Structure 1
Amino acid sequence: MDGVELQILWSNLIGIVSEQARALQRTAFSPIVREAGDLANGLFDEKARMVAQAVTGTPGHINSLAAAARNLLDDFGDEELKPGDVLITNDPWMSAGHFFDVTVLSPIFRNDRIIGYAGSTIHHSDIGGYGIGSGARDIHEEGLWIPTLKLYDQGEPNETLFKIIRRNVRTPDAVIGDLGAQVASGIIAADRLNALCDRYGLDDIASLSEEIITRSEEATRDVIRKLPGGTYHGKSVIDMPGGSEIVLQTAVTVDNEKGDIVIDFEGTSGPSSMGINVVPAYTHAYATFAVRSTLNPELPNNAGSLAPIRLKLPESSIVNAKYPSPCNARHVVGMHVPFPILKALAQVVPDQVVAEGSGAVWTIQIGGKDADGKPFTSSMFNYSGGMGARAGKPGISAVCYPTGVSAVPVEVLEASYPIVFKCKELEHGTGGTGKQPGGDGQRIGYKLRTGQPWLLNTIPSRLSAPPEGLLGGGDGAAGVFQINGENVVDTRKREMQPDDEVFMITPGGGGYGAA
């Protein structure tokens, strides 16, 4: 396939997944999807290999979705699929690592045979159980577990499954509405892919996907071959609510003959009793993102470019969660996975890495009854700290590497829920000093206007161990979490009184290089 033809067809594929993502985001019910873009969309070939992804979304979702398509089909069997079928699961070990992330996969038919799949994963507003926090004692306390099932069977909804979902969640209209948005985005992708085949006289996309995936893999290996071979080590420490510490340790081995990278997590902390354990797919998602965003970010993210990066995970570790470990708050550890990898890569390509940032977004979920006595539960909303500095640029303030989730605007939150914000502004001076300073965190204060007790689920991190500077840069400032002006460490789900106020300062990013 010549370069011009490939570029034209590739542009068409990117247009398809971009339209797929826009349709999902614009028709979603929940602010976390509609406003924050906590989603992923991907287009897969008939072998369930991810060919293209939409730009909107998070690495934790999109790179997990890359594995989820094959997992669903291995579990269900693609020979059983018919036109109009839609598969669904939220199994943490098959998809994105916790029950809130629901994956929907739609086969795309042409002339009565499957030519590809449209997939999406989004964070749903509620999935029953404990909520977004880390307090559940095992996974069965965390919510509704949906095995691989048909959400639609030849175009007909699985009414039994819909009834089960509705009865087990606190916000059924939002959950069912968001599922509808996922299904609709898959229909759009199928229509557009068939239109592409009509336009260019293709029976399928097998040759096109093979060309894209092969070129992407070889280009990634070429970049790795230019690196000095060897094993490089990195370590990152995260303090957790309750005063415990999590150690993430990596040995990054560069094989510049084969053109691959192996990341070994030996020495990483063992499983946690809190719901912060990370399943392998989510660990893989953020580990591969760290390498890809450092070495060759301009290359397409697909099955080919991900193939040269492999992981070794200790059997008993927090980044290799085993059933029935709780994992609803897996992002708290998972979003820190890139940092020990980046510290290792700093010994190889120091001008291409970033210093430690705040890591995980601070997630918040509120619930209770409004002034009229009507129950409500918010979807998760996030606040970022500062990003770590880069070799040639300061860290960005209130932007969290490695996730791509935006903050839901306070106006939208105040219109959707009985919450009122007292402040939301940058906290200047929280970024670490250095040749390039780290990004600043932000201060956020809020209370509820219901006049009734309410529930708070929130998971701050880096309250005592701040993000480290890199290559002589200063550390960022640690975060602050207070209720009614008093510092709070234990942040499991708690009952709040009507006039309670919450105040937070998210951590600043580490600086880069000595000033």
Structure 2
Amino acid sequence: MPLDPVTLAVIQAGLQQVCDEMDLSFSRAAFSPVIAEADDRSDGIYSASDGSLIAQGSRGLPVFVGVMQFSTRTIIERIAAGETEPPDEGDIYIVNDPYLGGTHLMDVRFAMPFYRGGRLVCWLSNTGHWPDTGGAVPGGFSASAISAEQEGLRLPPVKLFRKGVMNRDIWQIVCSNIRVSEQRIGDVKAQAGALMVGAERLAALMDRYGDATVEQAIAEMRALAARQMRAMIALVPDGRYEAQAFVDSDGVVDRPLTIALAVTKRGDGLEFDFAGSSPPCMGPMNSVRATTLSSVYLAMRHIFPDVPISAGAFDPLHVTGVAGTFLDASYPRPVSGCAAEVSQRIAEAVFAAMVQALPDRVTAAPAGTSGNFGLGGHDPATGADYVMYQISGGGYGGNADHDGLSNGCSTIGISKAPPVEIMEQKFPVLYRRYALHEGSGGAGRHRGGFGLDYEIELLRGEARASFVMDHGRFGPQGVEGGWDGALNRVEVIREGEVWVPPHLSKAQDIPLKPGDRVRVRTPGGGGYGPPSARDPAAVAEDVRLGRYSPLDAERLWGWQA
């Protein structure tokens, strides 16, 4: 007998609250600014049988929505095959292997079995972006890597905690292979603690409503999410919608990579066919299959945000044609740009295809880069080494109703740039500039939002900088006659000389001395609709606020003062 709607809604909200509390605990207890301030993490509950998603925190990164269910499934399958130790209560597995249902090496996943009366009910899992996992460059974003070993330490699923006690042998192996290892224990305890909070809250929920009722609700939630996604898909006119998106380069070979996509409405489902995309590349802009699938899921979450987060929402979405392309990387292909950059190009391709079918629901392309900037060195003032990781926002695309948001978070998540004050406190840097990248929004009836313009100066010691960004060659796509957003721009100023990376927004191991600076201007969003249809009063207001110069306004919109 189905649960009554009120009970189902209450339990669904309760499961969501469990995940939200895990997210909050993780961020509040973490040491690294990228987790504690930027919230580059996610927590969820996953099926004991196949790892499928049951619930995920509302403030977690959307790209992890699909990925963690694949990594949890991998753990379950490896346990069944005898390749990984079976679980006991209090165990926590650690894994960051991208090829086992992951993203890139810096996204480290923990998974803990949840038991009731000696019976495995589900898995609790979370992912946190560690500032460093070893490899050729501080921060792990090696723009020139040609193998996985150059990107850092790769861990299969192993027990970091056994019955609640840390496995010191595993931890010593980790610490021996990463930079600033003495600082990671704070993040590890925060990540494990978040899972323990989740176990406590989930136990309380099941105590209140009964195990059978909660498990019945979970099954009905999945079926309901599938029905809701199919109801949304019914709004899509029958047909085939084709689009392309481009990665600037792979960081090694200076030519673009193509994401070719055809979306076909088939009955009550959608097929996403990536046949014709570029083959695997030499550099780190390959994507593993789990991230590719998750990128499609998160793009559809952007389009249909009211569908609940559950594996059922993914059931009507079918991804094909990735085999043999750079969207289905296998070992030893490097993948550091996988989750942070390629995933956003995949989402952009989905938006560009779906806007043809649903122009009133889908936006022009957002900035589509996480702006990965790693800086590592030694601070003589503190006598300690450091690894700084900076992410940055960009403009959102315009849509049928209004202009795009300025300096929004990346497509793949809701992470925010760490506060300038925190970064200056923890690292030997000074932010000389932190402002909107004015004029960067693509022209249109509704223009794109603006990116970010920041400049960082190294104050003391020597350091090495690395970048893995994108949209330096192709701006975010405008739609319905709108113009593309402005390009991503990276400049390194050393002894008064300005240097631009040959790959535009990808470079590694750039030496910096005190007084050297790095300036980054992130992309604006694409414009929506023809620029000639924009309200002249809106153009005048942008000019009054200094967002566009009078000359640019005249060039883009034909505006006259």
TM-score interval (norm. to shorter): over 0.9
Q: Corresponding residue for 1:95?
A: 101
CA–CA separation in structure 2 for the residues paired with 1:430 and 1:133: 28
CA–CA separation in structure 1 for the residues paired with 2:87 and 2:474: 50
1:195 aligns with 2:197: no
State the secondary structure of the residue aligned to 2:35: helix
1:405 aligns with 2:411: no
1:292 is matched by which residue type in structure 2? R
1:487 aligns with 2:506: no
State the secondary structure of the residue aligned to 1:425: strand
Answer whether contact 1:126 1:175 (CA < 8 A) is retained: no
1:312 aligns with 2:325: no
Question: How far is the alpha carbon of 1:175 from its aligned partner?
Answer: 2.2
Q: Corresponding residue for 2:58?
A: 55
Q: Within 5 Å, give how 1:112-261 maps onto structure 2.
A: 112-130=118-136, 131-203=140-212, 205-240=214-249, 243-255=254-266, 257=267, 259-261=268-270
Q: Once the two structures are superposed, what CA deviation does each residue of 1:84-117 show, in whole Å capped at 9, x if it has no partner?
A: 1111111102233211111111111111111221
Question: How far is the alpha carbon of 1:203 from its aligned partner?
Answer: 4.9
Answer whether contact 1:353 1:390 (CA < 8 A) is retained: yes
Q: Corresponding residue for 2:541?
A: none
2:346 is matched by which residue type in structure 1? V
Question: How far is the alpha carbon of 1:218 from its aligned partner?
Answer: 1.6
Count matched residues: 511
Question: How far is the alpha carbon of 1:377 from its aligned partner?
Answer: 2.9
Report the aligned-residue RMSD. Answer: 1.7
Query: Aligned in 2, Cα 1:269/1:79: closer, same or farther, shift over 3 Å?
Result: closer
Question: How far is the alpha carbon of 1:372 from its aligned partner?
Answer: 3.6
CA–CA separation in structure 2 for the residues paired with 1:79 and 1:161: 14
CA–CA separation in structure 1 for the residues paired with 2:170 and 2:500: 44
Give the alignment partner of residue 521 of structure 2, picking from 495, 505, 512: 505
1:280 aligns with 2:283: no
CA–CA separation in structure 2 for the residues paired with 1:104 and 1:231: 40
State the secondary structure of the residue aligned to 1:103: strand
Question: How far is the alpha carbon of 1:243 from its aligned partner?
Answer: 4.2
Q: Once the two structures are superposed, what CA deviation does each residue of 1:275-316 show, in whole Å capped at 9, x if it has no partner?
A: 11110111111111112321x211211111112112113332
CA–CA separation in structure 1 for the residues paired with 2:36 and 2:382: 27
Q: Greater shift after overlay, 57-66 or 422-431?
A: 57-66
Query: Aligned in 2, Cα 1:375/1:367: closer, same or farther, shift over 3 Å?
Result: farther
Question: How far is the alpha carbon of 1:326 from its aligned partner?
Answer: 0.6
TM-score normalized with structure 2 length = 0.88
State the secondary structure of the residue aligned to 1:502: strand
CA–CA separation in structure 2 for the residues paired with 1:332 and 1:457: 15
1:492 is matched by which residue type in structure 2? Q
CA–CA separation in structure 1 for the residues paired with 2:528 and 2:385: 44
1:169 is matched by which residue type in structure 2? I
Q: Corresponding residue for 1:7?
A: 9
Q: Corresponding residue for 1:76?
A: 79
Answer whether contact 1:84 1:154 (CA < 8 A) is retained: yes
1:367 is matched by which residue type in structure 2? G
2:86 is matched by which residue type in structure 1? E
Answer whether contact 1:441 1:508 (CA < 8 A) is retained: yes
State the secondary structure of the residue aligned to 2:356: coil
Q: Corresponding residue for 1:31?
A: 33
State the secondary structure of the residue aligned to 2:176: helix
State the secondary structure of the residue aligned to 1:380: strand
Q: Corresponding residue for 1:420?
A: 430
Give structure 1 stretches of 5+ with no counterpart. none
2:435 is matched by which residue type in structure 1? E
Give the alignment partner of residue 447 of structure 1, picking from 457, 466, 476: 457
Question: How far is the alpha carbon of 1:426 from its aligned partner?
Answer: 0.4
Question: How far is the alpha carbon of 1:468 from its aligned partner?
Answer: 2.1
1:69 is matched by which residue type in structure 2? T
Query: Aligned in 2, Cα 1:174/1:61: closer, same or farther, shift over 3 Å?
Result: farther
2:306 is matched by which residue type in structure 1? E
Q: Corresponding residue for 1:476?
A: 485
Give structure 2 stretches of 5+ with no counterpart. 534-561
Answer whether contact 2:395 2:441 (CA < 8 A) is retained: yes
2:248 is matched by which residue type in structure 1? D
Question: How far is the alpha carbon of 1:120 from its aligned partner?
Answer: 0.2
CA–CA separation in structure 1 for the residues paired with 2:235 and 2:85: 43
State the secondary structure of the residue aligned to 1:495: strand
Answer whether contact 1:481 1:489 (CA < 8 A) is retained: no
Query: Aligned in 2, Cα 1:81/1:204: closer, same or farther, shift over 3 Å?
Result: farther
State the secondary structure of the residue aligned to 1:510: coil
Q: Within 5 Å, give how 1:378-393 maps onto structure 2.
A: 378-393=387-402
Q: Corresponding residue for 2:547?
A: none
2:325 is matched by which residue type in structure 1? S
CA–CA separation in structure 2 for the residues paired with 1:243 and 1:404: 31
Query: Aligned in 2, Cα 1:126/1:402: closer, same or farther, shift over 3 Å?
Result: closer
Give the alignment partner of residue 20 of structure 1, picking from 2, 19, 22: 22
Q: Once the two structures are superposed, what CA deviation does each residue of 1:405-454 show, in whole Å capped at 9, x if it has no partner?
A: 2111111111111111110100221101111110111211111111x321
CA–CA separation in structure 2 for the residues paired with 1:67 and 1:460: 26
Q: Greater shift after overlay, 57-66 or 237-246?
A: 237-246
Answer whether contact 2:145 2:283 (CA < 8 A) is retained: yes
Between the aligned residues of both structures, percent identity stands at 28
